[in-house]
């Protein structure tokens, strides 16, 4: 087994027993990338110098007989909207082409402190705007399971890197399903933590009240290890929360898991899902029932408004966040004109792709005078109702089980000319962001949604499911 095919625990065991060194594992990872990335397009850039120094430092510690953490030497991919000091960071956009990060995002810094090795920057839809990684300014990412299909988005590069064994795990971001849908399409585990559980410092923002830094991993155990490493309060991010997770994050007690009740939101199992997804969910429910876990039908009555709410709030916040990319303070492309207005127009016209322009215009419209109350303010009120739906449901059940996407992975170009069809790909994932609750995707592609800061419940359920399927 090659190092990048291993779980984190197996990698740690092999590394510390000196079956291979961290630098050997890194070189093997780069061989995998050299062999596969041209076809798959998971990575936009590689951080070879920094990665080699990190791997060598791990090897030196092991040679001195020091104990190293589980994450030491582990090759990790970083979505290209998270800053990695000294490396390019484009967020998949031409407007940031050539920008080099001056510091590390907090999640990246925490992984570095654990000895993890940052392999490179993974491809993504521009500024996180997309569900297929077709909106990257630097080329498409292909699904390693079927290269004729999209890998999902916007963290498609991170999911593809893990699925193709070009990293053991990867960091991504999730604004409306951008970790979970690619995890579903690529057949890996995806964790979107509770809003505030992981610092957003150093994440190029899309929609600040929705953005969450999360994880693509091979197994639920791996996701738990990474989450434990990157979570916690950060003085640089006022929205981050001081929350200590204990052993329950890494250890599952079957008797506790079997005492749980899982809710089935009736709004997620009606018309609109494909036959294949329906059959998949029936199999997942049967497997959990075989573990003596109880189910109960619940209702999230404002689900029907979620897509409309999301596509008002997200573009509104995106238009405000992307206003900084004007070719003068950030970005490039507006040189050569003394007229400041013309410089702005030139930079933003050249730098932003079609989807980014579409969402900027939508967001600017709903925030404009005369429309703010009619759209944005009303959407925020409905968002509160959606959050209250989850609170009410969690008074009856411990977690919710839902599909991730209404369809199987689709072909390139299938939805690019129909933005609404593309947006509908997020129908089952956006509510967790609107409510700020955690969600976990586990192969073969189902979603568990939990109470705020109860990631351990989701990880425990996912871990028991994996064990049952492996037995």
- pLDDT 10s digits, 243-269: 988 888 888 788 889 899 999 999 999
From the candidates 93, 131, 136, 154, give the one annotated as an active-site residue. 154
pLDDT number for residue 466: 96
Percent of the chain with pLDDT over 70: 99
The active-site residue out of 79, 112, 121, 415 is 79
Average pLDDT over residues 33-46: 98
Condensed to tens digits (0 to 9), the pLDDT of residues 352-393 reads 999 999 999 999 999 998 999 999 999 999 999 999 999 999
Span 442-451, mean pLDDT? 98
Q: Is 132 a catalytic residue?
A: no
**Segment among 24-28, 246-250, 436-440 with least mean pLDDT:** 246-250
User: What count of other Cβ atoms lies within 10 Å of the Cβ of residue 236?
Assistant: 13
pLDDT bucket at 57, cuts 50 / 70 / 90 = very high
**pLDDT tens digit sequence for 274-321:** 999 999 999 999 999 999 999 999 999 999 999 999 999 999 999 999
Which residue(s) pair with 146 in the sheet? 143
What is the C-alpha to C-alpha distance for residues 190 and 319, in angstroms, rounded to an integer? 27
Q: Per-residue pLDDT averaged across 131-146, rounded?
A: 97
User: Quick one: pLDDT band at residue 230, thresholds 50, 70, 90?
Assistant: very high
Beta carbons of 163 and 188 less than 8 angstroms apart:
yes
pLDDT computed for residue 335 by the predictor: 62
DSSP element (H, E) containing 276: helix 275-289
Residue range 202-219, pLDDT digits in tens: 999 999 999 999 999 999
Q: Does residue 340 surpass a pLDDT of 90?
A: no
pLDDT value for 336: 62
The yes-or-no verdict on residue 332 having pLDDT over 80 is: no
Alpha-carbon span 437 to 386, nearest angstrom: 11
Q: Give pLDDT, residue 329.
A: 75
> Active site residue: 72, 132, 178, 252, which one?
178
Whether the per-residue pLDDT at 237 is higher than 90: the answer is yes
Which residues, in sequence order, are CB contacts of 153 under 8 Å at separation 6+?
124, 125, 130, 131, 132, 133, 134, 135, 178, 181, 182
Virtual torsion, Cα 342, 347, 350, 355, nearest 10 deg? -110
Nearest to 211 by CA among 314, 140, 334: 314
Q: Per-residue pLDDT for 456 more than 80?
A: yes
Taking the C-alpha atoms of residue 287 and residue 289, their distance in angstroms, rounded to an integer, is 5
pLDDT tens for each residue of 403-416: 999 999 999 999 98
Structure-model confidence comparison of residues 334 and 249, the more confident one: 249
Phi, psi of 68 (to 5 degrees): -120, 155
Mean pLDDT for the chain overall: 95
pLDDT tens readout for residues 164-180: 999 999 999 999 999 99
pLDDT at 252: 78
pLDDT band with cut points at 50, 70 and 90 for residue 454? very high
Supply the pLDDT for residue 333: 62
3-249 adopts what CATH topology?
Amidase signature (AS) enzymes (3.90.1300)
Query: pLDDT at residue 337 above 70?
Result: no
The predicted model gives 447-458 an average pLDDT of 97
Give the pLDDT score at 342: 84
What pLDDT, on the 0 to 100 scale, is given for residue 251?
A: 85
Residue 208 is among the residues annotated as catalytic for this protein:
no
Where residue 334 falls among pLDDT bands split at 50, 70, 90? Answer: low
CB distance 141 to 117 below 8 Å: no
- Asked about 154 being catalytic, the answer comes back as yes
Order of strands, sheet of 169-174, starting from the edge strand that comes earlier in the sequence: 43-46, 117-122, 75-79, 169-174, 212-217, 189-192, 439-442, 446-450, 399-403, 261-265, 294-298
Q: What integer is the mean pLDDT of 89-116? A: 97
Residue boundaries of the structural domains of the chain = 3-249
Give the pLDDT score at 222: 98
pLDDT at 271: 76
């Amino acid at each position: 087994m090659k190092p990048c095919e291993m779980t984190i625990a197996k990698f740690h065991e092999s590394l510390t027993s000196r079956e291979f060194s961290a630098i050997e594992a890194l070189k093997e990872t780069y061989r995998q990338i050299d062999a596969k990335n041209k076809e798959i397009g998971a990575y936009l850039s590689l951080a070879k110098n920094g990665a080699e120094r990190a791997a060598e430092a791990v090897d030196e510690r092991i040679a001195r007989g020091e104990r190293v953490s589980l994450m030491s030497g582990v090759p990790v991919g970083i979505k290209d909207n998270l800053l990695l000091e000294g490396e390019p960071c484009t967020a998949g956009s031409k407007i940031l082409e050539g920008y080099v990060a001056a510091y590390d995002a907090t999640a990246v810094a925490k992984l570095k402190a654990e000895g993890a090795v940052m392999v490179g920057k993974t491809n993504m839809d521009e500024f996180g705007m997309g569900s297929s990684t077709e909106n990257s300014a630097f080329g498409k990412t292909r699904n390693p399971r079927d290269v004729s299909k999209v890998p999902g988005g916007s963290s498609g590069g991170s999911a593809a890197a893990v699925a193709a064994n070009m990293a053991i795990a990867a960091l991504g971001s999730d604004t409306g399903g951008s970790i979970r849908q690619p995890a579903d399409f690529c057949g890996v585990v995806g964790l979107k933590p509770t809003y505030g559980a992981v610092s957003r410092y150093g994440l190029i923002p899309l929609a600040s009240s929705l953005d969450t830094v999360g994880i693509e991993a091979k197994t639920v155990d791996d996701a738990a290890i990474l989450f434990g490493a990157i979570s916690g309060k950060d003085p640089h991010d006022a929205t981050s929360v001081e929350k200590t997770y204990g052993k329950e994050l890494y250890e599952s007690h079957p008797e506790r898991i079997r005492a749980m009740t899982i809710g089935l939101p009736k709004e997620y199992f009606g018309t609109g899902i494909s036959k294949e997804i329906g059959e998949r969910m029936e199999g997942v429910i049967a497997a959990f029932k075989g573990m003596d876990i109880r189910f109960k039908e619940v209702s999230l009555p404002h689900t029907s408004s979620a897509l409309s709410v999301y596509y008002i709030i997200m573009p509104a916040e995106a238009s405000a966040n992307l206003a900084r990319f004007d070719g003068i303070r950030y970005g490039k492309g507006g040189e050569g004109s003394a007229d400041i207005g013309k410089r702005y127009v030139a930079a933003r016209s050249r730098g932003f792709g079609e989807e980014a322009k579409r969402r900027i215009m939508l967001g600017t419209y709903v925030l404009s005078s005369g429309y703010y109350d009619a759209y944005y303010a009303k959407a925020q009120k409905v968002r509160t109702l959606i959050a209250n739906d989850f609170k009410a449901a969690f008074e009856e059940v411990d977690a919710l089980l839902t599909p991730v996407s209404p369809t199987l992975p689709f072909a390139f170009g299938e939805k690019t000319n129909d933005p609404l069809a593309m947006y509908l790909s997020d129908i089952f994932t956006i509510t967790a962001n609107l409510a700020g609750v955690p969600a976990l995707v586990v192969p073969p592609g189902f979603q568990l949604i939990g109470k705020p800061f109860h990631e351990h419940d989701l990880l425990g359920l996912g871990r028991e499911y994996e064990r049952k399927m492996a037995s």
